[in-house]
Amino acid sequence: MQSKAKVIFHVDMNMFFCSVAVIKNPSLKGKAFVCGRANTLKGVVSTASYEARKYGIHSAMPMIEAIKRKPDLIVVESDWNMIKQYHNHFLSVLRDYTKVIEVASVDEAYCDMTDISKYRNPLEVAKEIQVRLVKEYHLPCSIGIAPTLFLAKMASDMKKPLGLVVIRKRDAYDMLKDLSVADIYGIGKKTYPILIENGIRTISDFLDPTNKVKILTLVGQNTYDYVISHLQGNSSNVVMPNRYAKNESISTMTTFDSHISNESEILFELRGLTRELISRLNKANMMTKTISITLRDESFKTMTRSKTIKYTDDFYDIFDTVSNLLDTYYEEGTVLRLVGVGFSNLKDKKEALAEEYNLFTFESFIEREEKVKEMLKELQDKYGTDAIHIGIKKDDN
């Protein structure tokens, strides 16, 4: 962190898909409706209007459940061309105040407003953005203002619709302490239920030093350190317009004609993409060290997660990593429209092997080889020399 605090905005469009639907069809205003696949009980709710939310209907809910809660619920299909158009309108307003914008998804963005805040009050700027978006494009939004990206995101989630919340580093604890751990951005939907089940229900509970040992047994050191640092305002304050642009990387992805939510089907698609990239690696005589997957849902929310391992070009090593990433970060039932696989930290194979297999790893490798040979000799002595031998397994998958 730099010594001088930055001014970061997180601008989060309220009910963006529903807002665009109302712009297209004004008769929907004030009615209980959802965006999703019309004329079918399959799929999930993409976004629910505030009127629909009064019935407990929410995004990612199975459509059949939403209809059970309100049988006369209106279901409209999103106009993706119109959504892209209004996404661009949204960004065009932000660009009138700063050029340092990081697009997080189709309906949210981080903005570094440090420069304009030197001569204008940030609250005044934020309110002006809100008014302009409503007046010019009929788009309501909430804005969080903080010295870090994480706190700005937490702030924008605290008040909707048309919320405007400021979190200063010195005020972070008092403002966040009573929130549920489920509200901690990035903690993971598989993690917070475990915390709650074990008595770590609020952010105050998580930050309590007397709970540290218990929390470490539940989520591990890395997650604990990550959350503590972010909640205390010690995380990144750098807005990066090209955050996801990678050097020395390759990637591939596929968009589904029919969106899928079956984990086996998703894994099958990722498997094919992994093979495609490995073929490209082999042709370039390179190896990779960082594996990533990209998942994009029906509402265009995109998530990319990665893991760094030893340099490899082995299908089984890489696909095992891909599988683990999916198992860790994919929420069961989420309907996906796109999946992707990426390799980064690429190196020429000779250079990579020279880096990975130093004297110590080479000695370890030789030691393992000797043990395998001893085991092989014992088996051959017992069952005959033709019963088992060292060979190369062909990849017939």
The C-alpha angle with vertex 135 and arms to 133 and 136, in degrees rounded to 5, equals 65
* pLDDT value of position 354: 61
* End-to-end alpha carbon distance in the chain: 48
* pLDDT value of position 382: 66
81-103 as b/e: b if 16+ CB within 10 A: eebeebbeebeebbeebbebbbb
Residue with the two structure tokens 């089907």: 265
Instruction: Identify the H or E element spanning 74.
Output: strand 74-76
Number of neighbours of residue 176 by Cβ within 10 angstroms: 21
Residue with the two structure tokens 């899928």: 260
Q: Measured in whole angstroms, how far is the alpha carbon of residue 56 from the centre of its chain?
A: 25
Closest CA relative to residue 18, chosen from 55, 56, 43, 45: 45
29-43 as b/e: b if 16+ CB within 10 A: eeebbbbbbeeeeeb
- Eight-class DSSP state of 28: G
Distances in Å between the Cα of 142 and the Cα atoms of 32, 133, 163, 178 are: 21, 11, 4, 20
DSSP H helices, the chain, are 16-24, 50-53, 63-69, 80-94, 122-137, 149-156, 172-176, 192-197, 203-207, 212-231, 263-284, 315-329, 349-356, 359-383
* pLDDT value of position 40: 73
Beta strands at 286-297 and 336-344: parallel, antiparallel or unpaired: antiparallel
User: Which pair of structure tokens corresponds to residue 299?
Assistant: 């509402």
Model confidence over 313-362: pLDDT tens digits?
888 889 889 988 998 888 888 889 889 999 988 887 777 776 554 444 44
Backbone angles phi and psi of 178, in degrees to 5:
-90, -5
User: Residue ranges of the chain with pLDDT lower than 70?
Assistant: 1-3, 42, 188, 242-248, 257, 354-397
Q: Measured in whole angstroms, how far is the alpha carbon of residue 362 from the centre of its chain?
A: 37
Beta strands at 47-48 and 286-297: parallel, antiparallel or unpaired: unpaired
The C-alpha angle with vertex 365 and arms to 364 and 370, in degrees rounded to 5, equals 95
**DSSP result, 85-137:** HHHHHHHHHHTTT-S-EEEEETTEEEEE-TTGGGTS-HHHHHHHHHHHHHHHH
* pLDDT value of position 3: 44
The pLDDT > 90 percentage for the chain reads: 48
Give the catalytic positions in this structure. Answer: 108
Cα-only R_g, the chain: 25
Backbone angles phi and psi of 268, in degrees to 5:
-60, -45
Domains of the chain plus CATH, in order, are: 1-167 (3.30.70.270), 169-240 (1.10.150.20), 250-353 (3.30.1490.100)
Distances in Å between the Cα of 86 and the Cα atoms of 15, 124, 303 are: 13, 24, 21
Measured distance CA(53)–CA(65) in Å, rounded: 13
**Which residue(s) pair with 102 in the sheet?**
110
